[in-house]
Structure 1
Amino acid sequence: MSHKLVDYRFDRIPAFLGQELGVSEWMTLEQWRIDEFAHCTGDDQWIHTDPERCARESPYGVPIAHGFLTLSLLAQLMNDLKLMPEGTNLALNAGINNVRFKSVVRVGSRIRVRVKLAAVTPNGPDRLLTISACALEVEGERDPALLADIVVLLCR
């Protein structure tokens, strides 16, 4: 799904401002991943981990992913895009701005991320602070389930 960025190098990053950097492949969000996240975080509410109860009581009919699980999956989906500009030696997560959980993600849904370069700021010699506007899309849904601006420090 993603296209290969032509001439995407550290010294040319500002030229990509406002452009879509890529769209990841689809990932199926399975119950085991939700269960593992619940186990790791201690957030084991039935709406996430009890399929039988969800079938009876939930307005969604099936378990839904934790919002923070969907947020954390942005790292893997973005990494799969291989967006590290040529000539970059190190990329460090520096923050997440403007996170909005717009809708639930049901177990079994296929998700992907769409990434657009929203800002580039010099941050010392051979360092750039970038902000990527990310939309977590759910197959078959019109609107994204999650919007977030991912802040990354790139070092040459």
Structure 2
Amino acid sequence: MSIEGYGVTTLDEFVGRELGVSDWVVIDQARIDAFAECTGDHQWIHVNVERAKRESPYGGTIAHGYLTLSLLASLSIEIGLIPADAKAGLNYGLDKVRFMTPVKTGVRVRSRVVLESIERKGGGRVILKTGNELQIEGEDKPALVAQTLVMLVT
């Protein structure tokens, strides 16, 4: 998706504005299991469906917090965070992350992104700070809120 008028030279005009909302993404058990395999985090509350049904306070398995956090990158790209006239956009880090609500298996999530600030670093580099809210369909509280940093290479 592209954001009308959004580019490296017009970033200042977008500070404080919502850049967009991603499409919904299903958090199914296959995705959770693949994340567990990739990271080595096989805690039962994420991967043992039968035990989680019996013992979890959520009535079943839940997604890893870091799985939900990792979705912000692809969902931000979907929204159009990296301007088309930038050569690259690189993960530069996080300023603040709070996991607010567990993400139960089978639900859908989406990301809402606001451009909070920009910092021109010289040498064709610009740091974008975004506010991200990963929303859970049908829930009042988000799964997480996070400030992410992206370095644009122009």
* Alignment partner of 1:154 is 2:152: yes
Q: Find 2:60's aligned residue among 50, 59, 62.
A: 62
TM-score by length of 1: 0.94
CA drift of 1:82 comes to 2.6
- SS of match in other structure, 2:122: coil
CA drift of 1:45 comes to 1.0
Q: Provide the residue aligned with 1:114 in structure 2.
A: 112
Unpaired segments of 5 or more residues in structure 2?
none
TM-score by length of 2: 0.95
- SS of match in other structure, 1:73: helix
Corresponding pairs, count: 154
- SS of match in other structure, 1:123: strand
| Cα distance between partner residues in 2 of 1:152 and 1:45 | 31
CA drift of 1:126 comes to 2.4
**RMSD of aligned residue pairs (Cα, Å):** 1.2
- SS of match in other structure, 2:93: strand
Unpaired segments of 5 or more residues in structure 1?
none
Deviations 1:30-68 (A, max 9, x none): 101111111111111110001111111111011000001
Q: Find 1:41's aligned residue among 28, 39, 42.
A: 39
Deviations 1:74-114 (A, max 9, x none): 11211222322132111111101101111100000100000
CA drift of 1:123 comes to 0.7
Identity among equivalent positions (%) equals 45
| Cα distance between partner residues in 2 of 1:48 and 1:87 | 40
| Cα distance between partner residues in 1 of 2:40 and 2:124 | 41
Runs of 4+ in 1 over 3 A off after TM superposition: none
